[in-house]
Amino acid sequence: MFNNVFPAKQGVQYSAIIQTIRHSRLYTEDAFEKFVEATPPEMQRSDLAPAILQLKALGIDNVLRFNFPSPPPTKNLLCGLELLYALGAIDNNGELTSPLGATMAEMPLDPVYAKCLIISGTMECSAEITIILAMLQVQNVFTIPGGGQAALKARVARRKFEAEEGDLITLLNVYTAYESQKVTSWCHQNFLNHKTLRRATEIRTQMCKMLKKLNIPLISCQGDTEKVLRCITAGLFPNTAYLHYTGVYRTVRGSRELHIHPNSCLYTVQQPQWLIFCEILHTSKTYMRELTVVKPEWLEELAPHFYQRRAIDPF
């Protein structure tokens, strides 16, 4: 498109300019003035609960006075402490609880996932929870063709695994079906990534070994999905959103506006009233990913210290 802009005799001279334009991102002067000089360190923009949990396990009690290489905002530290307290990992004095907090610190998982895994034995669904958590550690479970007839077939194939309870039960369905096949041809037919599923199998094997080491029984719920959903709620209750009367979702605490991600199996169905999400993605909107449908009474029962009827009543 730039070939006719500059005289041919000056083509060599301007070729570098053309390449620079093609690889540049154009922005206004006002936008340029608002740019920060460098991307803030990850410590200042990420969830600090996992780091705080590890510091507690190392015997560092006063994390607010810890000499971080890049000191995070105090409010981020307080949010991390509040989350760990809500999960039962630390007590009223900010000390690591035993055995729950100490066990969570041993697991190479986010604290909310570690809580799910630890209590899954007593809630009689540890076999299913290990599958779901293993599937959450990998990406691109579903293969997405470029378009046309193949894309339509991929969508139809995906619907065979989708569950009305949400994305996490959908991932459980995928893995359960894969476990009975474990062949590349079956994955191709169902537009699933065979390498990703093999990696999920390896991760789940490691989780099962960890459960055995911690004397947590590996028990299957035998198809009782509610046990799985309640276990997920018991760990991920801080990530709850409800459908606001305006048609968008809002977090119960903080009233942050959220939207269902288009890749979710719940995107094209009637919007559930209550959801738990695993991840937030910031693009044109703030999207929730990896969703699970829950009931508000589960929040009152499983996290009464975090939610009360007044707090979870959207009306």
Residue 1 is predicted with a pLDDT of 45
Same domain, 189 and 243: no
Average pLDDT over the chain, rounded to an integer: 86
The Cα 160–Cα 170 span in angstroms is 9
Residue 88 is predicted with a pLDDT of 94
Mean pLDDT of the 54-78 span? 86
Same domain, 209 and 192: yes
Q: Specify the number of domains making up the chain.
A: 3
With pLDDT > 90 as the criterion, what percentage of the chain qualifies? 61
Assess whether pLDDT exceeds 70 at residue 313. no
Asked if residue 88 is part of any domain, the answer here is: yes
Same domain, 237 and 162: no
CB 233 within 8 A of CB 275: no
The Cα 191–Cα 171 span in angstroms is 14
State which of 202, 223, 244 marks the end of a domain: 223
Asked if residue 275 is part of any domain, the answer here is: yes
CB 202 within 8 A of CB 182: no
CATH assignment of the domain containing 52:
1.10.10.2130
Mean pLDDT of the 211-216 span? 94
Mapped onto helix, strand or coil, the DSSP state of residue 146 is coil
CB 86 within 8 A of CB 303: yes
97-115 pLDDT, tens digit per residue, is 999 999 999 999 999 999 9
Same domain, 174 and 98: no
CB 257 within 8 A of CB 250: yes
Asked if residue 74 is part of any domain, the answer here is: yes
Asked if residue 9 is part of any domain, the answer here is: no
Q: What is the DSSP letter of 283?
A: S
State which of 105, 120, 145 marks the end of a domain: 105
Cα atoms in the Cβ-side hemisphere of radius 13 Å centred on 308: 3
Asked if residue 2 is part of any domain, the answer here is: no
6-50 pLDDT, tens digit per residue, is 444 455 555 665 555 555 667 777 777 766 665 655 555 567 899
Asked if residue 111 is part of any domain, the answer here is: no
Residue 305 is predicted with a pLDDT of 82
Asked if residue 270 is part of any domain, the answer here is: yes
> Considering only CA atoms, which of 246, 278, 281 is closest in space to residue 261?
281
Mean pLDDT of the 257-273 span? 93
Q: Which residue range is the domain that position 244 belongs to? A: 226-312
Q: What are phi and psi of 27, to 5 degrees?
A: -155, 160
Same domain, 261 and 283: yes
State which of 192, 223, 254 marks the end of a domain: 223
Instruction: Cis check for the bond before 99: say yes or no (omega within 30 of 0).
Output: yes
Lowest mean pLDDT among 144-158, 182-196, 204-218, 237-251: 144-158
110-160 pLDDT, tens digit per residue, is 999 999 999 999 999 999 999 999 999 999 999 988 777 888 888 899 999
DSSP 61-127: --GGG---SSPPPHHHHHHHHHHHHHHTSB-TTSPBPTTHHHHHHHSSS-HHHHHHHHHTTTTT-HH
pLDDT class for 64, splitting at 50, 70, 90?
confident
Q: What are phi and psi of 113, to 5 degrees?
A: -70, -40
Asked if residue 76 is part of any domain, the answer here is: yes
Higher-confidence position of 64 and 123: 123
Centroid of chain to Cα 215: 27
Mean pLDDT of the 241-269 span? 91
Per residue, what are the HEC states of 230-268?
HHHHHHHHHHEEEECCCCCEEECCCCCEEEECCCCCCCC
Assess whether pLDDT exceeds 70 at residue 311. no
250 φ/ψ sector (left φ>0, alpha ψ -120 to 50, else beta): beta
Same domain, 213 and 237: no
